[in-house]
Chains A and B, each alone.
Chain A
Amino acid sequence: MAQNEHPGDALETPDASRRNFLKQSSALAALALAPPVAVKAIDTGWDQKIATAFDPLPLQVTINGTMQNLSIEPRVTLLDLLREQLHLTGTKKGCDHGQCGACTVHVDGQRVNACLTLAMTTEGSTVTTIEGLAQDNQLHPMQEAFIKHDGFQCGYCTPGQIMSAVACIREGHASSPEEVREYMSGNLCRCGAYANIVEAIMDVKQGGKKV
């Protein structure tokens, strides 16, 4: 159920880089709206020129408490930005289509599928990944609970499950195992650790620790 609900009004931020991005991207959009032109552009070897529209643009975003001043292509997803450029490889790619939840991270406190989030849309936001969950080497209660209840096997879906689970409790969607199963169903686990994951989440919820 990781939903792509970017809250707030980042797009209205009066910020130069943002305006720049919008300008260039609307030029691209215009191109897309005129298919014959676009097709012709490719035929006449304009690829290179079109691609320059994908030239890096500035992006300012706080990731795991560190402000990052980046320069990225606008087509880069948050997932690929984290993994391939920032070396935060804890966030995993399972489908790249918003169908599996392996890439779940928090953007301004909400769980989102990083693969469905263009990195540029996180301008001015706060992103938390699995690497940012533990504080001062002290595991987050959800991480502890996953170890205690063996909420994994291969561990590949685990970062996404944990990020989703934390949000699930924060959203108030963990009042019963049934509700947890419903609100965690966007996070697939092919190893089938579901029963243990639900136990871990209920344990954290009932433990009453701050999540």
Chain B
Amino acid sequence: MTKDTKNPPIDRVDGRMKVTGGANYFADFELPNMAYCVIVGSEIARGTITSLDTKKAQGAPGVLGVFTHQNRPPIPGWDATVGGPADGPPPKPKTEETYRILSSPKILFDGQPIAIVVADTYERATYAASLVKATYAKQAARTDLSKHVAEGIAPGGSGDYSRGKADAHQTAPVTLEAQYTIPIEVHNPMELHGILAHWTGPDTLMIYAKTQGVNATQNAMAQAFKLDPKNIHVHTEFMGGGFGMGLRTWPQETAVVAIARKIGRPLKLVMNRSQMFTLVGHRPYTVQTIRMGADQTGKLVSISHAATAETARYEDFTEATVNMTKFMYACPNVSTRYRIVRLDRSVPIWMRGPGEATGAFALESAMDEMAHKLNLDPIEFRLRNYTETDPEHNRPYSSKHLKEAYQKGAEAIGWSNRKPQPGSLREGNWLIGYGMSTGVFNAFRWEASARALLKADGSLTLQSAVTDIGPGTGTALTMIAHNVLGVPVERIKVEYGDTSLPKAPSQGGSAIVSAVGSAVFDACTAIKQALIELAVKDGGSLAGRQADELTLADGILSADKEPGKKVTVSELMQANNLTVIDRTKESKAGPDHQKYSVYSFSVHFVQVRVNPMTGVVRVAKAVSVADSGRIISPKTAASQMIGGVAGGIGMALTEEAVIDHRFGRFVNNNFADYHVAVHADVPAIETIMIDKPDPIINPMGAKGMGEIALIGFAGAVANAVFNATGQRVRHLPITPDKVMQKLV
């Protein structure tokens, strides 16, 4: 970006497709002779299949095959490997079990696929699936993390962390020790998971997927089927939300590909909603303990943060739950510990904000509790422990405008109306409370590539394999290209979500605008240079001028100091017999990135209303402030922030996947019983963007915001409930029973 100006809001470039039903998600594709399949899941959480009757299913009308551990077609790249996930190297330490779909009668988790039924129509496959009958030798399943916290093991890779004195909090003047729990939460994107697989030749494969990364799916399938990635074409232009569940290729996808090959027809799987709870990951149940010490002046003396999370017996899943504690506040003595417990559960996966959202709930609740003990305003307490350098890595932040974010958010929510004494604000029958919390997430910039094609008619096409799961990637890329080349927004076309396009990382970790955006920036910059070179070369229409004396806008290159001296892009290209200027660039973080800690920050403010008679908590107002560098596309960025608020309201107040531990099975695995936030739960939301470019991360100065939109929000609600009622709920979600239990 040459000039430090804010970007104007533009409409989502794929908006028209989305409002007309023209956007095609994987299940919308139709192929000739396509067959359908349905997964039959196990009815126990641990044990062995003793008999599996598939005869009736096999004989049902339209059935093309019933596949179980007895006859699943081979998956060459898997069947040889043992231990650990099928789509990656075995973890260390080695896991207790190995899970390869339909390869053994052993049951490792509730809902584990025991059969896949294929028929010529969806209805026939569904009916036949109901005819598959299994009997089991059951074993007692361990699914309740709260009973097994002591059995946590240190996962390979991430060690314990400490700086300063261990347990300095023992001598701190003011201390706090509290335990916080996050239940199992499920991504539950609106689009059901599945895959449409089509073998276009003996060794060539076309896949319509629900994946956050087409290149990742391509590689996983190449590994599984021992194929050259070039022979695998993966397409995911539109994805109906992912929130992390599409960050890996799930075993059932691979099984469908294998079965499609066997039956010789394109094969479509669309899972049902209850399978979304068991087969595509979840946010793990996590128990955290925070011990915090401070002195009377409000300075932190120590924080220790321990987290224990569930994982599967067949795969170790870890996330950065305790990381925020290491660098968020100026505090001399800090220690963190992270453990996992292997249970008879399916494996978790990152869910929006991932571990950081879990950790932020604990840390930011504890900060609120400590502020209260110290008689300090929660913002003031955070300011007294504010740090301009990262205390974990002893290096500066690339940019941090958190103070400004606190101040702007506080003004917008009306923080001055907050009473420090809990339970002292009322409106009619409702208790009113205010709460706030901070969020932070690493601002990544991964390697990515993009291609830009400028045509002589002045139109521009951008290409990258990146998938857009919803944040508006295409819109942001359009804005970036517009800023470099001055091509009007409506003349820019973005092609994405397909492995035939230049490689891109998976959409996750809030990194796509930074990664792919930089590649687009570089490709467009290369085109601009090419145009300038054509113009200034001998005989060119702007011969002799310097590049920095020229401006490119609306398809016209003009000399700054010579009014009227200009050439259109079309003229320039025609004069040089060019129909297109085509540049592909690979782009990655520069060496400076390592010298800084590069983070995005957010602050969430809420006003809650709590009904003391019923315990109902309503979020009445929400303000979210993002300090994530330059905002590329203000409109879609605001939507990401309000989306984080809606997700945060669910996380704070309603979301919990409940297991009946006698059976190790879910009791609320559907949308009627697992409550995501609905219209009536979500108020009007104010979003505030600090919108100051980060000088380090990338040429646009833009940091990611998908995660920070959610991280911290649940803590803000818990803190507001405390302010409203004087009751501290440390176990999410904050349901009326928990509020009432404390109130009566």
Residues of A at the B interface (CB closer than 8 Å) are: 42, 45, 47-48, 51, 54, 73, 75-76, 80, 83-84, 87-97, 99-100, 102, 129-131, 133-134, 139, 143, 146-148, 150, 152-159, 162, 177, 180-182, 184-199
Residue ID in chain B nearest A45 by CB atoms: B59
Q: List 24 A-B contacts (CB under 8 A).
A: A42-B56, A75-B127, A90-B20, A92-B190, A95-B273, A99-B672, A100-B190, A102-B190, A148-B11, A150-B639, A153-B639, A154-B469, A162-B19, A185-B680, A188-B671, A190-B188, A192-B642, A193-B643, A194-B642, A194-B677, A195-B642, A195-B683, A195-B684, A196-B639
**5 tightest A-B contacts by CB?**
A90-B21, A192-B646, A156-B240, A155-B18, A154-B470
Beyond known contacts A150-B15, A150-B635, A155-B470: 9 more, CB 8 A cutoff: A84-B122, A89-B24, A102-B190, A139-B20, A153-B470, A181-B679, A191-B646, A192-B645, A197-B679
- Tell me if B671 and A97 are in contact (CB < 8 A): yes
What residues of chain B lie closer than 8 Å to A177, measured between beta carbons? 684
Q: How far is B243's CA from A156's CA once the two chains are assembled, in angstroms?
A: 14
- Tell me if A185 and B678 are in contact (CB < 8 A): yes
Tell me, rounded to whole Å, the shortest Cβ–Cβ distance linking B23 to chain A.
Answer: 5
Q: How far is B21's CA from A129's CA once the two chains are assembled, in angstroms?
A: 9
Tell me, rounded to whole Å, the shortest Cβ–Cβ distance linking B389 to chain A.
Answer: 34
What residues of chain B lie closer than 8 Å to A186, measured between beta carbons? 678
Q: How far is B17's CA from A190's CA once the two chains are assembled, in angstroms?
A: 19
The reply on B682 being an interface residue by CB < 8 A is yes
Residue ID in chain B nearest A187 by CB atoms: B679
Tell me, rounded to whole Å, the shortest Cβ–Cβ distance linking B585 to chain A.
Answer: 28
- Tell me if B191 and A154 are in contact (CB < 8 A): yes
The reply on B27 being an interface residue by CB < 8 A is yes
Q: How far is B109's CA from A156's CA once the two chains are assembled, in angstroms?
A: 30
- Tell me if A89 and B21 are in contact (CB < 8 A): yes
Q: A191-B241, A193-B643 are in contact. Are A90 and B22 (CB under 8 A)?
A: yes
CB under 8 Å from chain A, chain B span 434-484: 469-472
Q: How far is B322's CA from A161's CA once the two chains are assembled, in angstroms?
A: 38
Residue ID in chain B nearest A52 by CB atoms: B61
What residues of chain A lie closer than 8 Å to B240, measured between beta carbons? 92, 154-157
Q: Which of B127, B241, B670, B671 contacts A153 (CB 8 A)?
A: B241
What residues of chain B lie closer than 8 Å to A199, measured between beta carbons? 684
- Tell me if B21 and A153 are in contact (CB < 8 A): no
Tell me, rounded to whole Å, the shortest Cβ–Cβ distance linking A73 to chain B.
Answer: 6
The reply on B401 being an interface residue by CB < 8 A is no
Q: How far is B685's CA from A177's CA once the two chains are assembled, in angstroms?
A: 13
- Tell me if B272 and A96 are in contact (CB < 8 A): yes
What residues of chain B lie closer than 8 Å to A51, measured between beta carbons? 60-61, 127
Q: How far is B122's CA from A75's CA once the two chains are assembled, in angstroms?
A: 11
What residues of chain A lie closer than 8 Å to B642, measured between beta carbons? 192-196
- Tell me if B19 and A146 are in contact (CB < 8 A): yes
- Tell me if B14 and A155 are in contact (CB < 8 A): yes
CB under 8 Å from chain A, chain B span 655-684: 670-672, 676-680, 682-684
Residue ID in chain B nearest A182 by CB atoms: B680
Contact pattern, B 196-240, Cβ under 8 Å of A = 1, otherwise 0: 000000000000000000000000000000000000000000111
What residues of chain A lie closer than 8 Å to B127, measured between beta carbons? 51, 75
- Tell me if B670 and A191 are in contact (CB < 8 A): no
The reply on B192 being an interface residue by CB < 8 A is yes
- Tell me if A94 and B273 are in contact (CB < 8 A): yes
Q: How far is B646's CA from A190's CA once the two chains are assembled, in angstroms?
A: 8
- Tell me if A147 and B11 are in contact (CB < 8 A): yes
What residues of chain A lie closer than 8 Å to B241, measured between beta carbons? 153-154, 156, 190-191
The reply on B728 being an interface residue by CB < 8 A is no
Q: A45-B59, A184-B679, A197-B679 are in contact. Are A156 and B15 (CB under 8 A)?
A: no
The reply on B421 being an interface residue by CB < 8 A is no
Q: A130-B20, A154-B241, A196-B642 are in contact. Are A188 and B680 (CB under 8 A)?
A: no
The reply on B16 being an interface residue by CB < 8 A is yes
What residues of chain A lie closer than 8 Å to B61, measured between beta carbons? 47-48, 51, 54
What residues of chain A lie closer than 8 Å to B685, measured between beta carbons? 195
Tell me, rounded to whole Å, the shortest Cβ–Cβ distance linking A75 to chain B.
Answer: 6
- Tell me if A194 and B679 are in contact (CB < 8 A): yes
Residue ID in chain A nearest B19 by CB atoms: A143
Tell me, rounded to whole Å, the shortest Cβ–Cβ distance linking A120 to chain B.
Answer: 13
| Residue with the highest number of chain B CB atoms closer than 10 Å, among A153, A154, A196 | A154
Q: A150-B635, A192-B677 are in contact. Are A87 and B30 (CB under 8 A)?
A: yes
Tell me, rounded to whole Å, the shortest Cβ–Cβ distance linking B600 to chain A.
Answer: 18
- Tell me if B671 and A100 are in contact (CB < 8 A): yes
Q: A97-B273, A154-B238, A155-B17 are in contact. Are A190 and B189 (CB under 8 A)?
A: yes
Residue ID in chain A nearest B268 by CB atoms: A84
Q: How far is B122's CA from A87's CA once the two chains are assembled, in angstroms?
A: 14
| Residue with the highest number of chain A CB atoms closer than 10 Å, among B18, B22, B61, B123 | B18
Q: Which of B28, B270, B643, B671 contacts A192 (CB 8 A)?
A: B643
Q: How far is B59's CA from A133's CA once the two chains are assembled, in angstroms?
A: 43
- Tell me if B21 and A181 are in contact (CB < 8 A): no
What residues of chain B lie closer than 8 Å to A102, measured between beta carbons? 190
The reply on B25 being an interface residue by CB < 8 A is yes
Tell me, rounded to whole Å, the shortest Cβ–Cβ distance linking A190 to chain B.
Answer: 5
What residues of chain A lie closer than 8 Å to B189, measured between beta carbons? 154, 156, 190
- Tell me if B273 and A96 are in contact (CB < 8 A): yes
Q: How far is B553's CA from A77's CA once the two chains are assembled, in angstroms?
A: 53
Q: How far is B654's CA from A178's CA once the two chains are assembled, in angstroms?
A: 20
What residues of chain A lie closer than 8 Å to B569, measured between beta carbons? none
Tell me, rounded to whole Å, the shortest Cβ–Cβ distance linking A164 to chain B.
Answer: 10
Tell me, rounded to whole Å, the shortest Cβ–Cβ distance linking B260 to chain A.
Answer: 17
- Tell me if A139 and B671 are in contact (CB < 8 A): no
What residues of chain B lie closer than 8 Å to A190, measured between beta carbons? 187-190, 241, 243, 647, 676
